[in-house]
Amino acid sequence: MKNLLTTLVGLWALCCFCTVSAHEIGFMHHLENRFAMPVKRKDTFSRETTLRVMCRASNVSRVEYRLFDGTLLATSEAAALDFAAAARFPHEGLFEVTAVGFDADGAQVATTYATMHVVQRGRAHQPLAETKAVTVQKDFAAPQWSPAGDQLVFTGSQYRGLFLIDLDAAPKRGFAGITTLSHEAMAGFKPVWHPYADALLVREAGQSDIETPANWVGLDGHAGTLSKSEQNEVQANFQFAVIDDQVCLRGRDGQSFKQPVTLSRGNDKFFAPQASPDGEKVLYEGISSGIWVIDLETGTRTHVGLGNHPSWGPNSEKVYFDIADDGHFQILNSDLFVYDLAANTTTQLTDTPDQREQRPAVAQDGRRIAFDVDGAVFTATLPTGGE
């Protein structure tokens, strides 16, 4: 009985551990040790900000805040104010900030850290309207709009299978009927609507998102493999490659370059390039730095910030994405955001601590958005008339 009780207690502790975000795991670990910076992954900070540390250790009398390279940002002896200190960051970006606590004799007695996203832009909150589920909850994910905006395709767990729903069809039991287009593995990994919109181009297992899909599947469920000439015909205007963890452009408008042009810059591992609808910009992702956009004409790079599953809006001026609080074993919650390139503003579209909104996609009309929530597909109307 004692062993059983011990096991149950251990399982309960594991469950509690799994419901804490990765960014907060470090915070709680240090808080348990009585010294932590209260920073969450979704937080953003201006270049001039106030740093704080939550300290339960009575022997800490002074705190120094330093950058990863040792640069001193600020010092505080205001224990009653959580050692608050005014700091100025040298530029925008992601910074690893270390807080070091010292006792009255000058000995180091505590240390903690936090990754801070410093950006000089506004953060607004404009909630979506008319949000509704269009499927049951069944491990569905990654919806994409048809060109006409009357249908959605989406996939299953681990991008297996491809499914279609007609939004204009009469609902059954509250939902429109779902048509299964494919059961194949990876069929739902970034499918591409055929230029004639009566079929989708789908990838086979092993293909990356920068390769031309090898297969096709019709809206009636018929499927086949694209010939080489058909692949050339439907090949995207932009040909990308990832070389030494850098995103490169190796061809454009049917012409291959003699040497690939490197688009990304930095020590991160970059991936998943996407050309904007107007063909003037490319967004891509970094494993640790998040989402970036480069203007192909000027070469200007814009750091959108931390986030996942970015997608372009139809006017090529907005990037939609989600930011998740993720634990070691599961994503706990996730919210949707949109970044406006022209206004340099980020707007939060959802704020649901108990749900996981992910993988947003905006219809061609610029008014409607689709996304998945905990295994179901949802649609909603964008605020202020959309794009």
Q: How far is CA 356 from the centre of its chain?
A: 12
Question: Token pair for residue 129?
Answer: 């309207």
Give the DSSP per-residue string, 158-191.
GG--EEEEETTSPPBTTBPPEEEEE--TTTTSS-
Number of helical H runs and strand E runs in the chain: 3, 32
Q: How far apart are the first and last CA of the chain?
A: 62
> Do the Cβ atoms of 121 and 346 come closer than 8 Å?
yes
pLDDT tens over the chain, length 387 residues = 445 444 443 434 434 333 333 344 444 444 445 788 988 777 888 889 999 999 888 899 999 999 988 899 999 999 989 999 999 998 877 888 999 999 999 999 999 988 888 887 767 789 999 999 999 999 999 999 999 999 999 999 999 999 999 998 866 666 778 999 999 999 999 999 987 768 999 998 888 888 889 999 999 889 999 888 888 777 777 889 999 999 999 988 878 898 999 999 999 999 999 999 999 999 999 998 899 999 999 999 999 988 999 999 999 999 999 998 765 567 778 999 999 999 988 999 999 888 999 999 999 999 999 999 999 999 999 997 567
Other C-beta atoms closer than 10 Å to the C-beta of 209 total 14
Question: Token pair for residue 364?
Answer: 């061609």
pLDDT computed for residue 173 by the predictor = 63
> Do the Cβ atoms of 335 and 323 come closer than 8 Å?
yes
pLDDT computed for residue 177 by the predictor = 86
> Do the Cβ atoms of 210 and 273 come closer than 8 Å?
yes
Q: How far apart are CA 305 and CA 302, in angstroms?
A: 9
pLDDT computed for residue 230 by the predictor = 81
Closest to 330 (Cα-Cα) out of 374, 369, 363, 291: 374
Q: How far apart are CA 141 and CA 94, in angstroms?
A: 30
- Residue 383, phi then psi, degrees to nearest 5: -70, 160
Q: How far apart are CA 34 and CA 10, in angstroms?
A: 23
pTM of the model: 0.79
Longest dimension (CA), the chain: 77
pLDDT computed for residue 129 by the predictor = 93
For residue 25, the surrounding DSSP H or E stretch is: helix 22-32
Residue with tokens 């970015």: 310
pLDDT computed for residue 23 by the predictor = 43
CATH, domain 124-184+236-385, list 2.60.120.650, 2.120.10.30, 3.30.1380.10, 3.30.70.120: 2.120.10.30
Each domain of the chain, given as residue ranges in start order, spans 18-120, 124-184+236-385
pLDDT computed for residue 170 by the predictor = 63
The CA distances from residue 331 to 18, 84, 156, 306, 375, in Å, are 9, 31, 17, 15, 13
The CA distances from residue 330 to 168, 324, 371, in Å, are 35, 10, 18
Rg (CA), the chain: 24
pLDDT computed for residue 13 by the predictor = 40
Which CATH code is given to the segment(s) 18-120?
2.60.40.10
